[in-house]
Amino acid sequence: MSITVVGSVAFDAVKTPFGERKRMLGGAATYFALAASFFDEVHVVGRVGEDFGAEDMAVVATRGADVSNIERVPGGKTFFWAGEYGWDLNSRETLDTQLNVFQDFQPELSSASRGCDVLFLANIQPELQLSVLEQCGETKFVAMDSMNFWIGSARDALIEVIRRVDCVILNDAELRQLTERPSIVGAARAVIDMGPSSVVAKQGEYGAALITEDQFFALPAFPLETVIDPTGAGDTFAGGFVGYIARQLDSSPAEPTLRQAMAYGTALASYSVEEFGTERVERLTAGEIDARVEDLRRITQFDHVPAPLEAS
Amino acid sequence: MSITVVGSVAFDAVKTPFGERKRMLGGAATYFALAASFFDEVHVVGRVGEDFGAEDMAVVATRGADVSNIERVPGGKTFFWAGEYGWDLNSRETLDTQLNVFQDFQPELSSASRGCDVLFLANIQPELQLSVLEQCGETKFVAMDSMNFWIGSARDALIEVIRRVDCVILNDAELRQLTERPSIVGAARAVIDMGPSSVVAKQGEYGAALITEDQFFALPAFPLETVIDPTGAGDTFAGGFVGYIARQLDSSPAEPTLRQAMAYGTALASYSVEEFGTERVERLTAGEIDARVEDLRRITQFDHVPAPLEAS
């Protein structure tokens, strides 16, 4: 199956308690592509400036992702984001956002990108997500991300996108904001009522939960003593999750396949945060991914050994 | 095995988005005893006022817990706490705390309480936890709880208690505050370096993690569409966790037993939050507990089905 991702390709400046990078490769589509291209053919749709070098493009294409649908704007500057994380990495402050060439991004998909079987709509303006959906032909699986800003400012368009995808990937706060439901299970069920067949609730250091019409599954994050940089963890998760599904897909993915995909996404995300930006995943190997999926199984399994409870 | 718990027996006033109770039975020792007495003989050590009626005492003793070591102070008033929870139940504000007879609580253990095999030191002043430890004879397993206030104001005594117990049960924020380590794995390892062989990190709606010297285990909370009242969830968890260990204990509990105990604690806590205060657990049955442990297994299991990853 081939996968198309539409989203930001960017430069980030990041400061964490463990160091900083003044300018590193970033963007949702970059993180997604680096992870998903372990599994299948990936086409990246995005827009960068003239400051985006051949060596940056080569990183996005590390595992063979097709970058020919990333438009490079002569004289333009690449989307830039700067942020700083707090002591325990659970809070982050945005210090600067320069949309630059991303401001006028109007995704125009190449024929290879349009012909994908699986589509990931990274966090961009919902109207643009709709335009991508309309350009694509028959797809077998479409997943999407979004953010608090669009939930607040472009709610109707966002709900139209949600209605047309198979899987919504949002964090807990976004799910609550979107549905005005206090519980994650309730919020996810409300999203499923809009059309999707599955919801992934991203929970940061606590991992992620998968909610389908009649099932619930939760997987913790892989426990790390030191997280260096959480930037891109969510999009790396999405790349592993969607990539695994694309690789295993016949028609619509069965719930056990979604669970396995959660484990692959979680494994990839856990490597991503071990170093700054894309540094760790750039040199990651297939063997390392499988080893960590096995570790995830090991840290979540238990036997149900009934205690002889007092009848009461 | 017999279990002794030392801690508060109280009245609470609680307001949540789903309703309120002006005065309901509460206190850490109450919640613990109601859960732990499913598994084994429980002795409750505490102190209440004259306003604590026989019907209140009967609730603590629902499953046969020995309440003869709860001192009733003539003319005294029972510990009272009032709090209100926010919209998503993840934040709570304390509106009133009246220590009353609990102010001068000096636990004096009866011979039955002293003779326990398993001891739970609920969240009280660390000096009192030490006094209880000194009154007890040979124990096989001791677990403890504490809170941010004692970590800040009685750190040395608290660390002395920690040095002498087998298992520390704290929430993530408390573990970070205690050890000044940003990651939960790092914080738990720092606690284990002080003496205990296991640490349980309570994570509220995200469940709990178990850290031992060489293992990690995480279990999500049971997913509920509606949580009515989170009060007492942590102590109910502790009651199920410690109760299961007591029931299965030969010498020191093996790691698989601790995992199974986590599942029982989680199951009991999930029932507790379905209604106000102790209401749900009062009428809970052994069969319901085992059914939920099985549900927890179902929502956490996945197979590792390797995708044919691109060698890279």
- For the stretch A228-252, pLDDT in tens is 999 999 999 999 999 999 998 876 7
Which of A241, A285, A302 is the best mutation test for B, with the most CBs of B within 10 A?
A: A302
- Answer yes or no: are the C-beta atoms of B171 and B203 closer than 8 Å: yes
Distance from CA of B138 to the nearest CA of A (A): 24
DSSP code for A305: -
* Closest by Cβ to B223, choosing from A37, A89, A185: A185
Alpha carbon distance B182, B177 (integer Å): 9
Give the chain B residue nearest A185 (alpha carbons): B225
The tokens describing A212, both together, are 């389908």
Contacting residues of A for B186, CB less than 8 Å apart: 225-226
> What pLDDT score was predicted for residue A250?
72
Mean pLDDT for the stretch of residues B121-135: 98
* Closest by Cβ to A310, choosing from B38, B87, B216: B38
CA A24 distance to own-chain centroid: 18
SS (H, E, C) chain A: CEEEEECCCEEEEEEECCEEEEEEEECHHHHHHHHHCCCCEEEEEEEEECCCCHHHHHHHCCCCCECCCEEEECCCCCCEEEEEECCCCCCEEEEEEECHHHHHCCCCCCHHHHCCCEEEECCCCHHHHHHHHHHCCCCCEEEECCCHHHHHHCHHHHHHHHHCCCEEEEEHHHHHHHHCCCCHHHHHHHHHHHCCCEEEEECHHHCEEEEECCCEEEECCCCCCCCCCCCCHHHHHHHHHHHHHHHHCCCCCCHHHHHHHHHHHHHHHHHHCCCCCCHHHHCCCHHHHHHHHHHHHHCCCCCCCCCCCCCC
Q: Where are the domains of chain B?
A: 2-298
Distance from CA of A102 to the nearest CA of B (A): 31
The tokens describing B138, both together, are 């040979």
Do the Cβ atoms of B312 and A184 come within 8 Å?
Answer: no
Contacting residues of B for A284, CB less than 8 Å apart: 312
Do the Cβ atoms of B64 and A310 come within 8 Å?
Answer: yes
Does residue A311 have a pLDDT over 70? Answer: no
* Closest by Cβ to B247, choosing from A227, A259, A307: A307
CA A212 distance to own-chain centroid: 18
Alpha carbon distance A299, B215 (integer Å): 8
Q: Does domain A2-297 have CATH number 3.40.1190.20?
A: yes
Alpha carbon distance B271, B297 (integer Å): 16
> What pLDDT score was predicted for residue A90?
83
Beta strands (DSSP E) in chain B are 2-6, 10-16, 19-26, 41-49, 70-73, 80-85, 92-98, 118-121, 141-144, 167-171, 198-202, 208-212, 216-219
Nearest CA among A139, A177, A186 for reference residue A158: A177
- pLDDT tens sequence across B33-55: 999 999 999 999 999 999 999 99
Does residue A150 have a pLDDT over 50? Answer: yes
> What pLDDT score was predicted for residue B90?
83
Give the chain A residue nearest B181 (alpha carbons): A88
CATH pick for B2-298 out of 3.40.190.10, 3.40.1190.20, 3.30.1320.10, 3.30.930.10: 3.40.1190.20
> What pLDDT score was predicted for residue B312?
47
* Angle formed at CA B211 by CA B208 and CA B212, multiple of 5 degrees: 150
Do the Cβ atoms of A309 and B293 come within 8 Å?
Answer: no
Other Cβ atoms within 10 Å of A283 Cβ, number: 12
Mean pLDDT for the stretch of residues A126-139: 96
> What pLDDT score was predicted for residue A251?
66
Q: How many A-B residue pairs are in contact by the CB < 8 A criterion?
A: 174
Alpha carbon distance A205, A91 (integer Å): 11
Mean pLDDT for the stretch of residues A121-140: 96
Place of tokens 């099932």: A215
User: Of the given ranges (A133-137, A251-255, B163-167, B186-190), which has the lowest mean pLDDT?
Assistant: A251-255
> What pLDDT score was predicted for residue B133?
98
Distance from CA of A72 to the nearest CA of B (A): 27
Does residue B288 have a pLDDT over 70? Answer: yes
> What pLDDT score was predicted for residue B253?
79
Place of tokens 């238990």: A302
Alpha carbon distance B148, B176 (integer Å): 10
The tokens describing B3, both together, are 């279990």
Alpha carbon distance A51, B51 (integer Å): 75
> What pLDDT score was predicted for residue B251?
66
Contacting residues of A for B289, CB less than 8 Å apart: 309
Other Cβ atoms within 10 Å of B250 Cβ, number: 9
Do the Cβ atoms of A203 and B206 come within 8 Å?
Answer: yes
> What pLDDT score was predicted for residue A310?
66
* Closest by Cβ to B299, choosing from A207, A216, A307: A216
Other Cβ atoms within 10 Å of A303 Cβ, number: 10
* Closest by Cβ to B286, choosing from A63, A209, A311: A311
DSSP code for B252: S
Mean pLDDT for the stretch of residues B236-259: 91
- pLDDT tens sequence across B52-98: 999 999 999 999 999 999 999 999 999 999 999 998 888 899 999 99
**Residue B310 binned pLDDT confidence (cut-offs 50, 70, 90):** low
* Closest by Cβ to B88, choosing from A182, A205, A294: A182
DSSP code for A292: H
Mean pLDDT for the stretch of residues A145-157: 97
Mean pLDDT for the stretch of residues A177-189: 96
**Residue B32 binned pLDDT confidence (cut-offs 50, 70, 90):** very high
**Residue B137 binned pLDDT confidence (cut-offs 50, 70, 90):** confident
Does residue B11 have a pLDDT over 80? Answer: yes
Do the Cβ atoms of A223 and B216 come within 8 Å?
Answer: yes
- pLDDT tens sequence across A65-109: 999 999 999 999 999 999 999 988 888 999 999 999 999 999 999
pLDDT, mean over chain B: 96
Classify residue B183 by burial, with Cβ atoms within 10 Å: 0-12, 13-18, 19+: buried
Do the Cβ atoms of A309 and B290 come within 8 Å?
Answer: yes
Do the Cβ atoms of A309 and B38 come within 8 Å?
Answer: yes
Nearest CA among B95, B69, B102, B112 for reference residue B14: B95
Alpha carbon distance A86, A270 (integer Å): 19
Give the chain A residue nearest B249 (alpha carbons): A307
Do the Cβ atoms of B302 and A217 come within 8 Å?
Answer: yes
Alpha carbon distance A154, A95 (integer Å): 24
- pLDDT tens sequence across B264-287: 999 999 999 999 999 999 999 999
